[in-house]
Amino acid sequence: MYQPEGHHLWDFWFVWNRGACHLFYLQAPKSLPPDERHWSATVGHAISHDLVRWAPQRTALEPGPPGAWDDLAIWTGHVIRHGEGFAMLYTGINRAERGRVQRIGLATSVDLQHWAKHPDNPVLEADLRWYEAEDASPLGTRAWRDPFVFPVPHEGRYRALITARLADGPLDRRGCLALARSADLVEWTVEPPFYAPGEFFHLEIPQLITHGGRSVLIFSVENPANEGDDAVGTCFRVAEHVTGAYRAVGHGWLLKGPLAYGAKLVSRDDGRWQALYWRYRDASGRFRGGLADPVDVRFRDDGAVHLIPPPA
C-alpha cells in the first residue's frame, strides 16, 4: 500500500512515461479530520515501475492565489500526452463561492514534475441547458469535476467525460457523465450527456478503456439516498463502440461496498491488466485512505470485468 507521509490519499489518475507509472492523487494533511480533506486538497505525485513501490515526488498542483478561480482546493483530474509534453485537466473550486461551483482548468508540463496553469483558465464549465445548477442541487453544488480526456484520431479532436448531474429528473438519479469536445484542450464545446443511466446520484472519476474490441466504461458511485453495499462502489458498463450504448454485464460492479473505492484499470507492458483503487472506510465506517496494491483483472468473453482477488 502507498500512503504519502503525513497525508490522506484518495482519488488518483496516472500516465505512463519511459516505463514508469506516474501517479497523481488528491492529498490533504492527516492533521485535518478526514471529512475536511476536500477543502484543503492538492495534487500529489509519485512514481513506480511495479505499481507496488512508489517514490514520492514534489507536489504537482496547488490552489491558486487569493481571488483565483481555484484558490480553495484542487480536485480530481486526468493527464494525457499532448504535443511535446503532457496536459492535465483538473477540477478547481474557490473561496468566493464557498466551493459550491466546480470548474475545470488546464495545466501543462514537459517533464511531469513542473506544471504551468493555462492563462485562460478555467477552460471548461457546465452548460446549464443540460446540467444541474447549484441552486437546484440537493447539495447546493454545481457538479462539474473529474475529467477523463481521450483523443479521437479520426476527428482530430479530444473528448472529455465529466462528472455532472442532469438539469431535471428525480433528484437521487440525476448523476451522469457529461461530454465535451475540443481541438486544442483550451476551447471546448459542451454537449448533451455521454451517459445518463438514471440510476445514481453521481458517477465519479470515470475511465474509458478498450479491450477485446469493446469499450469499457468505469465509474464510481456513492448514493446518499441508498443504504447498504449498493450505495457505494465502482461500476463497469460495456458497449460495442465508444459512443455506446453502454450496458451492465452480470452484476456490473468492480467494487461493491464501502471498503474500497475509485478503481482504475491499468494496462501493463506484458499485456496484463491490473486494477488500482484506494481504501475508503474500515468496518466501523472510519475513513482509511491510501492506495492499495494492484489486483489482477479478468475480462470474460461476454464483456464482464472481475478483480482477482476481490479487494478486502
Task: Confirm whether pTM is higher than 0.85.
Answer: yes
Q: Please check whether residue 220 is in contact with residue 234, taking contact to mean a CB–CB distance below 8 angstroms.
A: yes
Q: What is the CATH number of domain 7-308?
A: 2.115.10.20
Cis amide bond preceding 309, omega within 30: yes
What nine digits make up the cell of 206?
470515470
pLDDT at 163: 98
Q: Is 183 helix (H, G, I), strand (E, B) or coil?
A: coil
What's the pLDDT band for 263 if we cut at 50, 70, 90? very high
pLDDT at 312: 61
CB atoms within 10 A of CB 8: 25
In this prediction, residues 247-263 reach a mean pLDDT of: 94
Distance of CA 110 to the CA centre of its chain: 22
Concatenate the DSSP letters of all residues of 256-268 into one string. Answer: ESTTEEEEEEEE-
Least confident of 47-51, 85-89, 201-205, 267-271: 267-271
Asked if residue 7 has pLDDT above 90, the reply is yes
pLDDT at 225: 60
pLDDT digits (tens, 9 = 90+) for 172-223: 999 999 999 999 999 999 999 999 999 999 999 999 999 999 999 999 998 8
Cα–Cα dist 164/146, whole Å: 9
pLDDT at 156: 83
| Residues paired with 266 in a beta bridge | 274
Quote the Cα angle for 274-209-88, to 5°: 95
What's the pLDDT band for 149 if we cut at 50, 70, 90? very high
Domain boundaries, the chain: 7-308
